[in-house]
C-alpha cells in the first residue's frame, strides 16, 4: 500500500470528500493538510449524509486515525460544533482524532478583519467566506500567529493575545470603523475551547512519520483546488494556503520522498464559487441546468456555484503543478441527456492561441475558450459501477478528458453515494507508482 495525496484540479468542490471517503477504507491514516472551515466535503453512505469542514472524512471508518495537520488554520468554535454534529449522528471521536499543536488558530478578530476588508473592496471583492482564513494565515506569515498548542499554556496564550489586540484593535477601529475586542472576553472564550480540545492536541509530525516508517498507509486530504492555490491559482482570486500537492509536505511535516503518488479530482464539467475569471462559464440555460442537476451549492456557505464546460487547459495545468499520477472524474451522471458536450482545448486572446494556462489574469479574464464538440448520450449513467456498461459516447468523452488532462483516469463517480462509483484501478494499492502522464 502507498501514501497518496488527493488534490482538486479545478477551483475546489470537485467531490474530493467522496473520493477520500472511498479510499479511506484502505488507509490507516487520513490527514488534512491545508485550509480551514471554509472547505466543505460531503459524504453520502448507507447511514446518512455527512458534511465535513475540518475533520477528515476518514473518521467514518473504525480504526482509521484522522489528523488535522499543521498547515490547517483551526477555528475551535467551528471544530467543536462539527465534532458535536458528527457525534450526534453516532460517529466516534476519541483516540482516532488528533490536532497538530503547530496548526494556527482563527480568532474572532480574524473574521472581523476579513469581513471589513472584503466589504471595503466594493466591486473588487475576492469572494471570501468571511471565516477568518486569510487573516489567520497572514498572521502566521507575519510571525504573530497563535497556535493550537498555545491553548495548553494559558499565560502564554494570554500574553500573545494581549500583544496582538493592541495593534489589531487600533486597526479595526481606525481603519474600518468597527468595534475592537476585549482581552478578557476572548481569553475566557478560548480557554473554554482549550478545555474541550486539550485531549486531542499532539505532535502530529512525529505521529505521521512513525506511521509511515511502520509501513502504514497515509492518505493526504487537500481542501479547495489547484486554481485556488495562493501561488499557482488565479491570483488574487485564490485561497490563502498551498492547495496543491506540495502543500501536503509543508502542511504535515512529511517529506516528499515519502509520498508515493498524487490523485487529482476533477468534475466532468467545471464549477467555481466566488469572484474571479472562469473562461468556460455558461450563463445560459445550459449552465443553469448543470447547476440544478449537479446540486451546485456550497456545502459550507450554500452559495450557488458558477458552472461551465470541462476545461482541458485548466486540468492539464493541474497535472503539471501537482505531478498527478491519475484522475478521479466526478459527476459524470450530471451530463446525462445533453445532446452535445463541449470541452475547452485552448484560449484565444488578441489573436494569440494559448494551449497552456496563462499567468496573466487579464488574459484569462478576457480570453475566449476554444471548444471541441462531442456527442452526448441519452441513456442514464447514474449509479453505474461497470465501465463496460457506460454508453459509448460517455467512454469517448472520458477518453478525451484523459487526453486533454494528460493523465489516466482511475476512478469515475456516477452519483453522490459511496457505491455509485467505477473503480478502474485503486491508486492506493500500488506503492511507488510511476507517474503515467
Select which of 13, 21, 75, 410 is catalytic. Answer: 13
Rounded to 5°, the CA angle 371-349-264 comes to: 55
Find, among 382, 344, 421, 311, the residue nearest to 9 by Cα. 311
Active-site residue 41, yes or no?
Answer: yes
The three-point CA angle 346-407-328 to 5° equals 105
Residue 175 has pLDDT above 90, yes or no: no
Q: Please, how many CA atoms are within 13 Å of residue 168, restricted to the half-sphere of its CB?
A: 25
From 21, 41, 75, 227, active-site residue: 41
Chain length of the chain:
437
Peptide bond into 236 cis (omega under 30): yes
For residue 122, the model assigns a pLDDT of: 62
Give the burial string for 73-94 (b: 16+ CB within 10 Å, else e).
bbbbebbeebbeebeeeebeee
| Mean pLDDT calculated for residue range 74-78 | 97
In the predicted structure, residue 161 carries a pLDDT above the cut 50: yes
* Mean of per-residue pLDDT scores for the chain: 93
For residues 91 and 345, give the distance between their C-alpha atoms in angstroms, rounded to a whole number. Answer: 44
Q: Which residue has the cell 463541449?
A: 342
CA distances from 29 to 16, 33, 360 (A): 16, 13, 39
Give tens-digit pLDDT for 105-146: 999 999 999 888 777 666 666 656 778 999 999 999 999 999
* Domain(s) of CATH 3.90.170.10: residues in the chain: 4-94+203-423
**21 compared with 437, residue with greater pLDDT:** 21
Indicate the burial class of 402 (C-beta count within 10 angstroms; 0-12, 13-18, 19 or more): middle
Which DSSP string do the residues of 379-391 spell out, in sequence order?
A: S--TT---GGGS-
Residue 42 binned pLDDT confidence (cut-offs 50, 70, 90): confident
Identify whether the C-beta of residue 283 lies closer than 8 Å to the C-beta of residue 48: no
- The x, y and z cell numbers of residue 422, run together, are 467505477
Q: Is domain 4-94+203-423 in CATH 3.90.170.10, yes or no? A: yes
3-state secondary structure of 131: coil
Residue 345 in this model has a pLDDT that exceeds 60 = yes
User: What pLDDT sits at residue 118?
Assistant: 78
Q: For residue 287, how far is the Cα from the chain centroid?
A: 23
The pLDDT tens digits for 387-417 are: 999 999 999 999 999 999 999 999 999 999 9
Q: Which of 48-57, 81-90, 238-247 has the lowest mean pLDDT?
A: 48-57
Residue carrying C-alpha cell 495545468:
317
The CATH label, of 1.20.1260.10, 1.10.300.10, 3.90.1010.10, 1.10.240.10, for the domain at 104-200 is 1.10.300.10
The predicted-structure confidence for 241-264, as pLDDT tens digits, reads as follows 999 999 999 999 999 999 999 999
CATH 1.10.300.10 residue ranges for the chain: 104-200
Per-residue confidence (pLDDT) for residue 50, from 0 to 100 = 85
Q: What is the DSSP string of 327-339?
A: EEEE-GGGGTT-S
Q: What is the mean pLDDT of residues 165-181?
A: 91
User: DSSP class of residue 436?
Assistant: -
DSSP state, 297? B
Q: How far is CA 195 from CA 101, 153, 189, 403, in A?
A: 15, 11, 10, 52
- Looking at residue 2, what is its pLDDT? 86
Q: What is the mean predicted confidence (pLDDT) over 75-93? A: 95
Backbone torsions φ then ψ of 118, nearest 5 degrees: -65, -40
Active site residue 28: no
- Over range 67-84, report the average pLDDT: 97
Categorize the per-residue pLDDT at 434 as very low, low, confident or very high, splitting at 50, 70 and 90.
very low
Mean pLDDT of 307-315: 98
Cα–Cα distance list, 258 to 209, 210, 211, 250 (Å): 9, 12, 11, 13
Amino acid at each position: 500500500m502507498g501514501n497518496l495525496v488527493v488534490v482538486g484540479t479545478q477551483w475546489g468542490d470537485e467531490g474530493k470528500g467522496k473520493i477520500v471517503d472511498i479510499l479511506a477504507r484502505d488507509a490507516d491514516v487520513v490527514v488534512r493538510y491545508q485550509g480551514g472551515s471554509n472547505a466543505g466535503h460531503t459524504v453520502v453512505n448507507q447511514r446518512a449524509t455527512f458534511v465535513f469542514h475540518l475533520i477528515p472524512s476518514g473518521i467514518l471508518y473504525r480504526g482509521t486515525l484522522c489528523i488535522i495537520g499543521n498547515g490547517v488554520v483551526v477555528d475551535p468554535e467551528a471544530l467543536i460544533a462539527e465534532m458535536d454534529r458528527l457525534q450526534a449522528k453516532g460517529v466516534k471521536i476519541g483516540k482516532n482524532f488528533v490536532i497538530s499543536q503547530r496548526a494556527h488558530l482563527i480568532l474572532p478578530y480574524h473574521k472581523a478583519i476579513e469581513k471589513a476588508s472584503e466589504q471595503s473592496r466594493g466591486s473588487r471583492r475576492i469572494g471570501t467566506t468571511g471565516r477568518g482564513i486569510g487573516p489567520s494565515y497572514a498572521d502566521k506569515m507575519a510571525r504573530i500567529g497563535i497556535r493550537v498548542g498555545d491553548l495548553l499554556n494559558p499565560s502564554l496564550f494570554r500574553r500573545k493575545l494581549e500583544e496582538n489586540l493592541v495593534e489589531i484593535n487600533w486597526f479595526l477601529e481606525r481603519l474600518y470603523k468597527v468595534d475592537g475586542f476585549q482581552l478578557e472576553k476572548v481569553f475566557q472564550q478560548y480557554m473554554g475551547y482549550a478545555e474541550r480540545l486539550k485531549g486531542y492536541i499532539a505532535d502530529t509530525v512525529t505521529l505521521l512519520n512513525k506511521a509511515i516508517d511502520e509501513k502504514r498507509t497515509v492518505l493526504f486530504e487537500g481542501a479547495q483546488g489547484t486554481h485556488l492555490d495562493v501561488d499557482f491559482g488565479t491570483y488574487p482570486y485564490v485561497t490563502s494556503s498551498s492547495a496543491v500537492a506540495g502543500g501536503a509536505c509543508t502542511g504535515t511535516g512529511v517529506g516528499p520522498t515519502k509520498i508515493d503518488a498524487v490523485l487529482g479530482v476533477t468534475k466532468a464539467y467545471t464549477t467555481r464559487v466566488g469572484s474571479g475569471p472562469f473562461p468556460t462559464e455558461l450563463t445560459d440555460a445550459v449552465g443553469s441546468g448543470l447547476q440544478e442537476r449537479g446540486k451546485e451549492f456550497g456545502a459550507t456557505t450554500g452559495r450557488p456555484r458558477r458552472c461551465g464546460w470541462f476545461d482541458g487547459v485548466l486540468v492539464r495545468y493541474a497535472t503539471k503543478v501537482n505531478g498527478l499520477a491519475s484522475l478521479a472524474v466526478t459527476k459524470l451522471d450530471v451530463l446525462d441527456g445533453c445532446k452535445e458536450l463541449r470541452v475547452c482545448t485552448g484560449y484565444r486572446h488578441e489573436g494569440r492561441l494559448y494551449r497552456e494556462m496563462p499567468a496573466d489574469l487579464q488574459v484569462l479574464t478576457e480570453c475566449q475558450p476554444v471548444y471541441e464538440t462531442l456527442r452526448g448520450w441519452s441513456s442514464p449513467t447514474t449509479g453505474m459501477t461497470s465501465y463496460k456498461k457506460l454508453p459509448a459516447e460517455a467512454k469517448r468523452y472520458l477518453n478525451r478528458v484523459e487526453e486533454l488532462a494528460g493523465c489516466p483516469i482511475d476512478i469515475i463517480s456516477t452519483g453522490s453515494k459511496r457505491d455509485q462509483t467505477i473503480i478502474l484501478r485503486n491508486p492506493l494499492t500500488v506503492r511507488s507508482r510511476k507517474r503515467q502522464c
